[in-house]
Amino acid sequence: MSELRFEGVTVRYGRALTAVDGVDLTVPAGQVVGLVGESGSGKSTLARAAVGLAEPAGGQILLNDVPLHHRPGARRPLQMVFQDPYSSLDPRMTIGDSIAEAMPRGPREPRGPSRRDEVVRLLELVGLDADRVSAYPGALSGGQRQRVAIARALAGKPEVLIADEITSALDVSIQGTVLNLVRTLQRELRLSMLFISHNLAVVRYVSDIVAVMYLGRIVEVGPARDVLGNPQHPYTKELLAAAPRRGSTALPPPDEALVADAEPADPHHPPVGCRFHPRCPIGPLIRTDREHCLTLDPTAEADHRLHRAACHHAAGVLRAVGSNPPVLMQLKEDSQ
């Protein structure tokens, strides 16, 4: 089991767009961190930086406290399962060849018949029959292709597995099957995993820790039960409210609905102060006494708040009291 840690990671595309902005995030050894946020929040860019497909402009990514360096031809300790199973496999290669290609090469690695046995073992591990070895991707369904993509990632003997929206391109009827497979494999193999999704219900199902990302920054992170049971950031609360619930027909007040329905800010020009304030249902567009949200960045004090929430009005805040050490003061909930 290995720990993956992002320290102040920033990723830019050109000079105009900062897709990931100073992200601190830890994937503890043997645990699943669910990274959730809407499209364009920077989730996939952070994942691509971890596996060497995007170059960080700042910060560092560490595996077991050692900075990651992606050298051509070297073994990759991080493996990634991509969103689209239709484009992640070479249609001209058999399933067996695709999986075998990802296996490490060295004097101690399996060769010849042993290599084929390992391919069969991996296929059976993800619930596919051994006779699929000679099949081509075009002969498989979407769910079967995603299983092959998972087997291919496991063939690289990763220390950390990154799953990027791996169910969003699949039919609803088979999403649950793939999620059950991922959860079972993670537990049996004791893998460390970064699981990325825009679907909070999916993240809730597989994750030990939940991190919420908005406009390139982590706005809340903590144990899944705590974050989902007692969210501190208004954006997390909006994501929870948007998750479908059986029999729920309640509508928000008109002023809050107007803000919540606002389009996300342009990532090329993120808002000053709190990045969520143009959409915040408890922010300055609703509460005139909260103009500080327009100018003060809440991430500066996030480490001192419950769930590291990037919100000036999180319920739990660490404050220094006189000359005493900082203590946790539970503030009254704002009327929301």
Q: How many CB atoms lie within 10 A of CB 206?
A: 18
What are φ and ψ of residue 157, in 5° steps? 50, 60
pLDDT in tens, 310-321: 999 987 544 433
What interhelical angle do 142-155 and 172-189 show, nearest 10?
Answer: 20
Q: What is the distance between the alpha carbons of residues 78 and 92, in angstroms, rounded to a whole number?
A: 25
SS3 call for 100: helix
CATH number of 4-225: 3.40.50.300
pTM of the model: 0.86
Concatenated DSSP letters for 247-298? T------HHHHHHHTSPPPPTTSPPSSSTTGGG-TTSTTT-TT-GGGGT--G
* Phi, psi for 218 (deg, rounded to 5): -80, 120
> What is the rounded CA–CA span in Å between residue 96 and residue 120?
8
SS3 of 235-251: HHHHHHHHCCCCCCCCC
Rounded to 5, what percent of the chain is helix, strand, coil?
35, 20, 45
List the chain pLDDT tens, one digit each, 336 residues: 899 999 999 999 988 899 999 999 999 999 999 999 988 899 999 999 999 999 999 999 999 999 998 777 667 899 999 988 788 889 999 999 999 998 887 655 555 568 889 999 999 999 999 989 999 999 999 899 999 999 999 999 999 999 999 988 788 888 889 999 999 999 999 999 999 998 888 898 899 999 999 999 999 999 999 999 999 999 999 888 877 655 444 444 444 444 556 777 888 889 999 999 999 989 998 888 999 999 999 998 898 899 999 999 987 544 433 334 333 334 334 434
How many Å apart are CA 267 and CA 13, to the nearest integer? Answer: 11
Q: Structural domain boundaries of the chain?
A: 4-225
